[in-house]
Amino acid sequence: MARELLKGNVAFAEAAIRAGCEAYFGYPITPQTEALEHMAVRMPELGRTFVQAESEVAAINMVYGAAAAGVRTMTSSSSPGVSLMMEGLSYMAGSEVPAVVVDVMRGGPGLGNIAPAQSDYTQMVKGGGHGDYRQIVLAPASVQELIDHTVLAFDLADRYRIVSVVLADGSLGQMMEGAELPAMRPPRAADASPAWALSGAKERDTNLISSIHLDPDEEERFNHHLQAKYAAIEAAEIRHEEHLLDDASIAVVAFGTAARLVKTAIAGERAAGVAVGLFRPITLWPFPTDALRDLSERVEAILVVEMNMGQMLEDVQRVVAERCPVGFFGRTGGVMPMPEEIAARIRALATQLGAAVSDAPEEVRT
């Protein structure tokens, strides 16, 4: 496949199609709507299912139905719409059906605005809906990653019978950038549907997709089963990126678009002699706990940068557990942190360290 100039929202929609998504259900919301519009054209063209639902509540329950019937299915939305999906996501976790949700986050709370934000971290990473459940959360930082993560999200969802979330933001959805789409996967044969799926009980016992366990002991056993599955995912599916961390005394921890802005800031600070690098969680759940803990033993300080007021910060603090100081810089409400602002925070931290740590290398004190 050739590199082409692609808009984020169109790119992930097309990537989903090529990953074998057979049914898309959605409801218009900025800054994600181009994905729905792309699906409205492409899915019928390919003889696949597209439904504009009456609400995000309905959309996620349609996804639940299609997932229960054993096909690759997805929805996409933005923050206020995703809030409406929490009930459905909890049910899907409780009945272990695979599906993909793309959240192109925007400024909030409430109706907020349509500018990019990362303030759905807690909602998506910690649950959001009721019950002890998890979903895999991938955090792309470019249009290429938006594509790659969408494909990966389907594969992981199927592998673990879990909901995978691609947690993007308005800038990634709206941005145009050079990227390469994957080749079209052949559609799954109708008779290749998973053994647990609803397809009509022909020559087999009946199948049931349900999240109800009325007996508390049985519900507890089911929860333990879920936790065992989550532990397996934590053991096998953590992904993160380390950028210029080998000699770093300061590590910036950031995900998605914020991480990209941090990279620009780091380039400038490196040129000025500051030993700073980036630690970028790619899976927000499972969180790169061990790698971050190791890092906290190597660096002198950590700076968390987010497009919210410190939602991932709580996870970083939990993992670092005071092995080194953790600072925070965030812009919120749809405002993006500019590289110069981030650079100023890095510089201030370096100066502080220089004062506190006498044997720090000269360049740290710049």
Partner 1 sequence: MSVLAPPEPALTPVYSYPDALPHVPTHYCPGCTHGIAHRLIAEVIDEMAAKERTIGVASVGCSVFAYRYFGVDFAQAAHGRAPAMATGVKRVRPEALVFTYQGDGDLASIGAAEILHAAVRGEQITVFFVNNAIYGMTGGQMAPTTLLGQTTTSSPAGRDRATMGTVLRMSELLAQVDGAAYVVRRSLHDVVQIKRAKKAIRRAFEVQEQGLGFTMVELLSSCPTNWGMTPEAALGYIRDEMVPAFPLGDFKVPETRAEAGA
Binding residues (CB under 8 A) for partner 1: these are 22-23, 25, 49, 51, 53-55, 57-59, 61-71, 73, 87-88, 91, 95, 198-203, 206-212
Contact between 78 and 51 under an 8 Å Cβ cutoff? The reply is no
C-alpha dist (Å) from residue 72 to 135, 156, 165, 326:
16, 12, 14, 41
What's the closest the beta carbon of residue 206 comes to partner 1, in angstroms?
5
User: Can you tell me the distance from the alpha carbon of 141 to that of 118, in angstroms, rounded to the nearest whole number?
Assistant: 12
Residue 138 has phi, psi (to 5 degrees) of: -105, 140
Which residue, 21 or 324, is less far from partner 1 as judged by CB?
21
Which residue, 77 or 174, is less far from partner 1 as judged by CB?
77
How buried is 321 (Cβ within 10 angstroms: 0-12 exposed, 13-18 middle, 19+ buried)? exposed
Contact between 157 and 134 under an 8 Å Cβ cutoff? The reply is no
User: Can you tell me the distance from the alpha carbon of 290 to that of 294, in angstroms, rounded to the nearest whole number?
Assistant: 6
The set of residues, in sequence order, having a beta carbon less than 8 Å from that of 43 and lying 6+ positions away, is 17, 23, 24, 49, 50
What's the closest the beta carbon of residue 157 comes to partner 1, in angstroms?
15
Which residue, 59 or 326, is less far from partner 1 as judged by CB?
59
Which residue, 66 or 278, is less far from partner 1 as judged by CB?
66
What's the closest the beta carbon of residue 323 comes to partner 1, in angstroms?
43
Q: Identify the three-state secondary structure at position 114.
A: coil
Which residue, 92 or 342, is less far from partner 1 as judged by CB?
92
What's the closest the beta carbon of residue 55 comes to partner 1, in angstroms?
6
Which residue, 11 or 71, is less far from partner 1 as judged by CB?
71
What's the closest the beta carbon of residue 219 comes to partner 1, in angstroms?
14
What's the closest the beta carbon of residue 81 comes to partner 1, in angstroms?
15
